[in-house]
Amino acid sequence: MNIELSDVMKGFKPFLFEELYRKERAERAKGRDIISLAVGDPDIPTNESIVECAVQELHNAKNHRYPNTKGNERFRKAIAAWHKRRHGLDFHYIDEISILVGSKEGIAHLPLTVMNPGDLCLIPDPTYPTYRTGVVLAGGEAYDVPLTEENGFLPDLGAIPQKIAERAKLFFLNYPNNPTGAAADIYFYRELIKWAKKNEVIIAQDAAYSDIYFTEEPSPSILQAEGARDIAVEFYSVSKSFCMAGWRAGWVVGNSKLVCALNALKENFDSGQFNAIQNAAAFGLDHFEEIVPGVRSRFKKRAEDFCNGLKKAGWRLSMPEGSCFIWAKPPVDIPSEQAVVKMLEQEGVLAAPGAGFGAHGEGYIRFSTTEPEEVLQEAIRRISAVKW
Ligand SMILES: Cc1ncc(COP(=O)(O)O)c(C=O)c1O
């Protein structure tokens, strides 16, 4: 029998990083020593105190039963307390916070809660690919909003055609930004919320890199902008700031109708995250001030050293304001995929081609700084040796 896959399934392009993984595997199979800076998967081990907490939680038989999809009280209360300390915001742990099995899962499911087939979603270009996944799942349409260097990689709200703004149901944003490393400040968020209210567009701000910021001021929450809670949710993750990518824990916070709808939807898909993991993540949040600044300064130093190395090799770039990524143009103007293939074939360094993140990513290459310092130094040595 010829198994015919659904239109939704056919609507998915292969996940960008899967393609990159495949390329890397093929080169390694040839026996080559490859340095991969293509994906943002932190190499730094999770803080030992969190691991120890998880080990104890593992032995607690209460945790072996089904969790609650919304997340347990311990984790949700720790999240509420953290937002109070970090942003000065009060959130009700019952209906303004819901736990996710990694923020990617919630991001991909959110459009199903508010979009009907044919509805329009605004997506930044270049972008983290999961926003589009969600739109495909919901049968919606995506409209790409350019992020350009001239505009600090922020969307130019005034340039979004009025007809598009009126049709749009949802707008995904992500600051500190993957892939460009740009930051948004509270003034931008205030403008965005005014624009969103005027046009009745729901805002989903992805704060996966909220605590990997290199700016003087900590990166703000969109929910600090007046009225944001009426129209916005924000996605958080322990993957980057706590180097817990493999643990799969994140949360959504903000507008209670949206938070509760996402939770109600998820009850049909999953039964929440293992309570031992939730409790370990809660322990991490309780000790945020001791654990995260060290991670942040390490990523900052890596970014500075890597940027300096690239600049010496003739690359064109600015120092990122946050995230685990460097967004840079090679010494010659060349399509990004060709540049990636040249680096891989000549010197065994794999990076992510900017075009894979959207048309406005063309010309750029994204390097991830989630490998140890000595590997990053060796990568710079190799990249400097590439003959363009
Ligand atoms: C912008 C952005 N958002 C969300 C995620 C997903 O993070 P997680 O599912 O690990 O919480 C990532 C992961 O790379 C990301 O880069």
pLDDT digits (tens, 9 = 90+) for 278-334: 999 999 999 999 999 999 999 999 999 999 999 999 999 999 999 999 999 999 999
Phi, psi angles (nearest 5°) of residue 242: -105, 5
Segments forming the whole domain that contains residue 258: 64-289
The CATH code of the domain that includes 142 is: 3.40.640.10
The best mutation among 105, 206, 213, 299 to test binding of ligand 1, ranked by most ligand atoms within 8 Å of the C-beta, falls on 206
Q: Which DSSP string corresponds to 26-43?
A: HHHHTT---EE-SS----
186 part of a folded domain: yes
pTM to 2 decimals?
0.96
Residue 173 pLDDT grade (very low, low, confident, very high; cuts 50, 70, 90): very high
72 part of a folded domain: yes
Tell me how far the alpha carbon of residue 79 lies from the centroid of ligand 1, in angstroms: 18
pLDDT over 80 at 18, yes or no: no
Domain count, the chain: 2
52 part of a folded domain: no
pLDDT digits (tens, 9 = 90+) for 333-351: 999 989 998 999 899 999 9
Residues for the chain: how many in total?
388
Q: What is the pLDDT, as a whole number, of residue 65?
A: 96
pLDDT over 90 at 16, yes or no: no
Do residues 242 and 356 both lie within one domain? no
82 part of a folded domain: yes
Do residues 191 and 300 both lie within one domain? no
Do residues 41 and 184 both lie within one domain? no
Residue 272 pLDDT grade (very low, low, confident, very high; cuts 50, 70, 90): very high
- State how far the Cα of 148 lies from the Cα of 292, in Å rounded to an integer: 30
Average pLDDT over residues 256-271: 95
Are 251 and 102 spatial neighbours (Cβ–Cβ below 8 Å)?
A: no
Are 72 and 275 spatial neighbours (Cβ–Cβ below 8 Å)?
A: yes
Do residues 164 and 274 both lie within one domain? yes
Do residues 226 and 78 both lie within one domain? yes
User: What percentage of the chain has pLDDT greater than the value 90?
Assistant: 91
Nearest CA among 156, 159, 136 for reference residue 148: 156
- State how far the Cα of 115 lies from the Cα of 206, in Å rounded to an integer: 18
Do residues 301 and 262 both lie within one domain? no
For the chain, first and last CA: distance in Å?
Answer: 50
In this structure, what DSSP letter does residue 9 have? H
- The residue among 289, 309, 327 that closes a domain is 289
Q: What is the pLDDT, as a whole number, of residue 49?
A: 98
What tokens does 313 get? 């090799």
- The residue among 256, 289, 322 that closes a domain is 289
The CATH code of the domain that includes 368 is: 3.90.1150.10
The best mutation among 98, 104, 175 to test binding of ligand 1, ranked by most ligand atoms within 8 Å of the C-beta, falls on 104
pLDDT over 90 at 56, yes or no: yes
Protein residues whose CB sits closer than 6 Å to any atom of ligand 1: 40, 102-104, 128, 174, 178, 206, 208, 237, 239, 245, 250
What tokens does 60 get? 């607690």
Do residues 318 and 172 both lie within one domain? no
Helix residue ranges, H only, 44-185 = 48-58, 73-87, 103-114, 130-137, 162-167
The best mutation among 43, 79, 130 to test binding of ligand 1, ranked by most ligand atoms within 8 Å of the C-beta, falls on 130
* Residue 304, amino acid: E
Tell me how far the alpha carbon of residue 254 lies from the centroid of ligand 1, in angstroms: 18
